[in-house]
Every structure is written in C-alpha cells, then in structure tokens.
Amino acid sequence: MKTKLISIILLFFLSASCSVHFHLDLLGKETMEEVILLKSAAKEKILMIDVEGLISSLPSSGLFAREGDLLSQIYYRLDKASEDPLVQGIILRLDTPGGEVTASDIIYNEIMKFKQKTKRPVVGLMMGTAASGGYYIASACNYIIAHPSTITGSIGVISIFPSVQELLTKIGVKMSVIKSGEMKDSGSSLRDLTEEEKKVFQGIIDELYQNFLDVVYKSRKNSISLEELKKMADGRVYTAQQALKLKLIDEIGYFDRALEKALSLASLRQAKVIAYSYYPKTKTNIYAMSLQDTSLLKENSFEKLLPSLKTGFYYLWLPQMER
C-alpha cells in the first residue's frame, strides 16, 4: 500500500513537471515563431501586429490564451522586430473598442519608442472598430488607413462606478466602513457617489481627456487645428467616410493599400509579410486574427463585459453603457 502511494505521488509530480514545462515553452518568448503570410522574393519583411479586443493589462481568458495580456503580446513583437534588421516596417491592424487608459498609453508609447529607435514606419490599418483607446494607439502610426466599414473616433474618457446600495437595503444587508478620511472609500460600490466625489473624479477624467487630445493633436496637427479637434472629440464615433472628412484618418482602403504604403514609407519595392505567432498553424494568411478571446466584445453587452472591467478609467467605446 505504501509503495503504491509513493508511486502515485511520483506520478503526480512527474505529470505536473511535464505540464509546467509545456506551459513555459508556450509562454516563453523564445518559442515565438515567424510565420510568412505573403511570400516575396525579397528578403526584407513587413511585420503585421494585431491589436484586437479589449485593451487591458489583464491576461486573456480561454484555453489557448497563453501569451499573457495584450500589452505583453505587443511589447514582445515590437522588441523582436527591433532586433531584426530585415523587418523594415509594421502594419498595425486594429480591431478594438479601446480599453484601459494606462494600457492604451503604454502601447502608444512602445510604438513611438520603436519608431524612434529603428526609424522604421508603422502603418495603422483599422478593421471593424478602432475606437477610443484604439484610436489613441493609432495616433502613434505614421499613416492611418481605415476599411470602408470601420467605426472609429470616440475620443474621450469614461469611468465606471456601479452601486449596489439599493440592492443591499432591499435584502437587509448593512455595511459599516471605518476610514481615515472622508474620501478614503470614494467610488465604493456600497453607496452612491457624493457630489464632492463626483467633482474629484471629474477632475481626473478631464486631465486624462486632455492627455488624449494632446496625443491626437500631436499626430494630426498638420491637418486639424486644436479648436476643430475639441469640437469633434466629444466621445461620438464616426464612420470611415466621416473620419476621413474630419481628417482623423489619412485614407480609406484595404490591406493591399496598407502594404503599399508601408513599402513606400520604408523605401521598398517589395517585401514578404510576416507575423510572430505561438500558434503558427492558425496564422496562415493576412486575415487570420489572433486567438484572443473576444466573445464578450462580439456580443456587445455591457452586462457580460462588466466582470472583465476592473475599477479605473477607460478610453473605451461602450455603446450599451447607459441603457
């Protein structure tokens, strides 16, 4: 009996060891493989990077979401590309309603650092949605192209403070909070916001909004005046045609046009298009998106998305928020 127990324990640890090794191999940066999406006789490469789903520093959910959070995924790819002299440009494919303020800003900053370090161009290609934080990130690109059916814009900031005060009252639950200062539990879901708290949070929103305006103006100042930008940056979304007319984007087109522009900015006649992937068999062509779990966003339901949103401030288009 004792021998059998020892055998079971050893088997457990051996299987656990194999499992950990397998997991680390999938997560490890060294396992990220280069996949050719469009062949070319040229040795030079144009890298395609996806910014897809909710922009967050939280890890993706799902069985195959082994790469970590979106922030890490993009950082790894930019870092790998910067070390490869044959990668002469990037097409940044955006399909996102936005997300966390900090995550959006870090991705924007990493793209700017890549451009400064390598002097290589980045072309933004907007897919179905590239709103709020998605547009914030696109502002780091040298050139922005949107598909004819793209929804973009939504320049603004939102913060979410759910309140369960009435629910707790109905079921007879009382909460006692002991705090060091009047504002210590500001934003608590256990009670409604006070007028003073609303003023404090509005001040934070205004500051983050100004930062958003500064980023967009830096990118579009040759096309849009600051006064014009403030008028259109009230949180509303725009179609690709409207965004082009307002000069928020540079052109309406498809992937082939984005590739032409990337080649032109990189002073190349041709190049192969590649992607970096942990799952090379799934990345077989230019329209194969990543394996990130975006089912919540596709359902476009605030009730389903809410558990994924942590307390904080967002550059996010969430159309069902006020229903």
The residue range of the domain holding 88 is 31-157+201-316
Q: Please report whether residue 171 resides in a domain.
A: no
Q: If you average pLDDT over residues 179-195, what whole number do you get? A: 78
Residue 104 predicted with pLDDT over 80: yes
| β-pair partners for 130 | 96, 152
pLDDT digits (tens, 9 = 90+) for 227-282: 999 999 999 999 999 999 999 999 999 999 999 999 999 999 999 999 998 765 56
Query: Which of 198-202, 297-301, 313-317 ranks highest by mean pLDDT?
Result: 198-202
**What pLDDT score does 105 carry?**
97
* Cα pseudo-dihedral 297, 302, 304, 306, rounded to 10: 100
Amino acid identity for residue 317 in this structure: W
Q: Please report whether residue 275 resides in a domain.
A: yes
Instruction: Print the SS3 string covering 35-87.
Output: EEEECCCCCCEEEEEEEECCECCCCCCCCCCCCCCHHHHHHHHHHHHHCCCCE
**What pLDDT score does 89 carry?**
98
pLDDT digits (tens, 9 = 90+) for 220-231: 999 999 999 999
User: What are the residue numbers of the active site?
Assistant: 132, 184
Q: What is the pTM of this model?
A: 0.81
Q: If you average pLDDT over residues 177-184, what whole number do you get? A: 80
Instruction: Count how many residues are written for the chain.
Output: 323
Q: Please report whether residue 164 resides in a domain.
A: no
**What pLDDT score does 322 carry?**
42
**What pLDDT score does 163 carry?**
67
Q: Please report whether residue 22 resides in a domain.
A: no
109 CB contacts (<8 Å, ≥6 apart)?
A: 140
Which CATH number goes with the domain that contains 63?
3.90.226.10
Q: Please report whether residue 260 resides in a domain.
A: yes
Q: Please report whether residue 72 resides in a domain.
A: yes
Residue 194: pLDDT band (50, 70, 90) is: confident
Whose CA is closest to 137, among 201, 88, 68, 78? 78
Q: Please report whether residue 98 resides in a domain.
A: yes
User: What single DSSP character describes residue 93?
Assistant: E
Q: Please report whether residue 21 resides in a domain.
A: no
Structurally, the chain folds into a number of domains equal to 1
Q: What is the mean pLDDT of the chain?
A: 82
Residue 64 predicted with pLDDT over 80: no
**What pLDDT score does 279 carry?**
66
pLDDT digits (tens, 9 = 90+) for 16-47: 433 333 333 444 444 778 999 999 999 999 99
